[in-house]
Structure 1
Amino acid sequence: LLAWQTAAFPLAPDDRVLQFSPLHFDICMMEMFGTWAAGGTVVLVDAETRRDAMRLLPYVREEGITRLFLPYVALQQLAEVAHARGGGWPERLREVFSAGEQLQVTEELRDFFRHTGAVLHNQYGPSEAHVITSYTLRGTPDEWEHLPPVGTPVDNVRIRVLDPHGAPVPPGVAGEVHVAGPCLARGYLHRQDLTDKAFVEDPFAPGERTYRTGD
């Protein structure tokens, strides 16, 4: 995953990435190791500032943050504060990655990205596999869809959308997302019953597993 991230979204030694996620949340690995691999700087933030968008916005600006990883709710709150203040935009910010929740493009978000000029990436992935798809919003913020797609699989990830019988569904037909590849977790600690239910044999690759996301 880190090899894919550093190749697809390279950083430079002068980049500064905020470690917004706590250490028990998987995205912190991308914040820290993805930055260090490029020789960049990981900027720490205290819990009070992390939870308060009114404090977080000026902190991101003052620290010269160039890349942010934020769940949608936190990103929306940051955009609302900037919109209400009508200024104080983080001028060095050039990339934002949103994951963990469904991304919704609101008017406040459009305003935020108009002023910062940053690129917005929408990523999707359950904890059992981490990030498995990525999509970069194109065009101007005014052209962005309200509900952007989650994108295409990242390296070393196989995704299929299957019906209840395990058969692939045609384009446009609803089904369950199944994930396979070396991205998968081993299972749930001390819960073999849950592991056996969610991590099943891959019918398209004998001897390998696939994860039933429930999505």
Structure 2
Amino acid sequence: MIRYPDRSIIDTLFPTMIERRRGAETTAPALVHVWGFMGTGEPGDASAAGVAEFWSDSAPTTAGSPILDIAGRMMSGMGGQLWGFGLACRITANLVVREIRNPPEVTTAAKPDEPRDGSNAEEVWVATIFDARGGEYTRMQYVHLPDLEPITWDSDTLDKRSTTRDWMDRVENGIISAHIWAAALTLDANRNRSVLQQLERRLLR
């Protein structure tokens, strides 16, 4: 049985994820940090986090993707039951709106006078964690406006069929965050059997 951390523990992981990505030798948006998490963060619990680099411009993110390969190595190498996977990256704010399913209040992240193609949009650091229950937890922080408070939101990616279909569409379209979402669901394959079977059929057709 997977043991999940309290929501407050997840909040403590975001700064580490963003700072690790910020401290990388390159600021290139193509570099994505993929994270794996185990343990509840409680005293006496064996908690750990693993991180691997993925270059989004080096390999296609499709069926049999390198993201799922990274997740598989973490599952076998971290020595315990993982409860979730995550990513940290640098991206334009309006791409966060389009690619990492956001609540309506975040859709104003890009300035009104900026073009919608992202050519002049504000860049942000984004850290997202997906757990095996379908939970999504995201923090967004502006790169060039560090004094602004980060924006944080949660969602349930399995709460409605339409929401789940949207995430499956993202997997088919090669969206990195969606492949990490799929990897997180495999951590509890029995619970998520129906969704994983639907996703497998999509990718094999």
Normalising by the residue count of structure 2, what TM-score does the alignment of the two structures yield? 0.29
Higher strand share: 2
Higher helix share: 2
